[in-house]
């Protein structure tokens, strides 16, 4: 008989816990940004390309995508959404909420097997300001997972200021990125992509069922920004 907490004779030693900050090399991945002509999409495309990532901007209009890519430079390419999805290893969804479902429904084939990163925030606005909407599926990310059953859906990049992302004079973006998903290998890739941007860090924040409150927090940040004339982000302490 062995005492509590000791291993049984002949049992294999327990593998050491994986270092949560031991992230993969993602420098060779092609990143596509659906909705890359909008403020958030442009900002993410610019920052990732500036960090050395190969980036393709996607849009419903190839002309708009190519024009945005030319304006941003840094080797960014423009394409229609379908081509962007086909050519990319990782696809960031940065489309407006009201076009979220329709966009993904039309790209199911092109996104098979792809790592999809949803950063869409379902929000409403009235005279009192921004407020969170709750999709039938629970969140934008969960809606994406339902619509893209053959893709690897994650959620991240919700709380970033488009103004700061697009400001060429800013060297570092001082913020953490909450990353959610079902498979550790996938969330590790997204965390590593976030970490490519100076000042930014990706932090695992749970499975997709927890995406609603992460998406909803943007409404609070909008209120912070309006009151304090700021471009607020988030930092997670003690990790």
Q: Average model confidence (pLDDT) for the chain?
A: 94
| Best CA proximity match to 202, nearest among 230, 164, 236 | 236
Which pLDDT score, from 0 to 100, does residue 8 have?
54
Instruction: Give per-residue pLDDT as tens, 190-201.
Output: 999 999 999 999
Which pLDDT score, from 0 to 100, does residue 89 have?
97
- Max distance between CA atoms of the chain, in angstroms, equals 73
Tell me the C-alpha to C-alpha distance, in Å, between residue 16 and each of 19, 20, 22, 79.
9, 12, 13, 45
Which pLDDT score, from 0 to 100, does residue 17 have?
85
Across the beta sheet with 30-34, what order do the strands follow? 77-80, 54-59, 30-34, 90-93, 115-118, 152-155, 175-181, 200-204
Instruction: Give per-residue pLDDT as tens, 75-110.
Output: 999 999 999 999 999 999 999 999 999 999 999 999
Instruction: Give per-residue pLDDT as tens, 102-153.
Output: 999 999 999 999 999 999 999 999 999 999 999 999 999 999 999 999 999 9
Instruction: Give per-residue pLDDT as tens, 18-33.
Output: 898 999 999 999 999 9
Which pLDDT score, from 0 to 100, does residue 16 have?
83
Q: For the chain, what percent of residues have pLDDT higher than 70?
A: 95
Q: Which residues contact 23 (CB under 8 A, 6 or more apart)?
A: 188, 189, 191, 192, 195, 202
User: In the structure, what pLDDT confidence band is assigned to residue 10 with cuts at 50, 70 and 90?
Assistant: low
Which pLDDT score, from 0 to 100, does residue 132 have?
96
Q: What is the pTM of this model?
A: 0.91
Q: Give me 42's structure tokens.
A: 């442009």
The answer to whether 140 touches 211, Cβ cutoff 8 Å, is yes
SS3 readout for 89-104: CEEEECCCHHHHHHHH
Place of tokens 């619509």: 147
Instruction: Give per-residue pLDDT as tens, 198-223.
Output: 999 999 999 999 999 999 999 999 99
User: In the structure, what pLDDT confidence band is assigned to residue 2 with cuts at 50, 70 and 90?
Assistant: very low
């Amino acid at each position: 008989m062995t005492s509590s907490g000791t291993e049984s004779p002949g049992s294999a030693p327990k593998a050491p816990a994986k270092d949560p900050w031991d992230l993969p090399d993602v420098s060779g991945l092609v990143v596509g940004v659906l909705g890359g002509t909008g403020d958030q999409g442009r900002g993410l495309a610019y920052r990732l390309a500036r960090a050395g990532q190969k980036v393709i901007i996607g849009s419903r209009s190839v002309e708009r995508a190519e024009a945005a890519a030319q304006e941003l430079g840094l080797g960014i390419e423009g394409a229609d959404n379908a081509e962007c999805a086909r050519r990319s290893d990782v696809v960031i969804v940065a489309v407006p909420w009201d076009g979220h479902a329709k966009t993904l429904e039309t790209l199911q084939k092109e996104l098979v097997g792809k790592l999809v990163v949803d950063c869409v925030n379902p929000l409403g606005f009235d005279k009192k300001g921004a407020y969170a909407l709750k999709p039938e599926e629970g969140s934008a990310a969960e809606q994406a997972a339902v619509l893209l059953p053959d893709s690897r859906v994650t959620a991240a990049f919700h709380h970033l200021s488009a103004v700061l992302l697009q400001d060429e004079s800013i060297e570092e973006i001082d913020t953490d990125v909450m990353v959610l998903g079902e498979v550790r290998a996938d969330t590790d890739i997204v965390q590593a992509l976030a970490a490519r941007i100076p000042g930014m860090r990706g932090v695992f924040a749970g499975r997709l069922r927890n995406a609603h409150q992460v998406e909803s927090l943007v409404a609070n940040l909008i209120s912070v920004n309006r009151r304090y004339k700021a471009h607020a982000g988030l930092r997670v302490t003690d990790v």
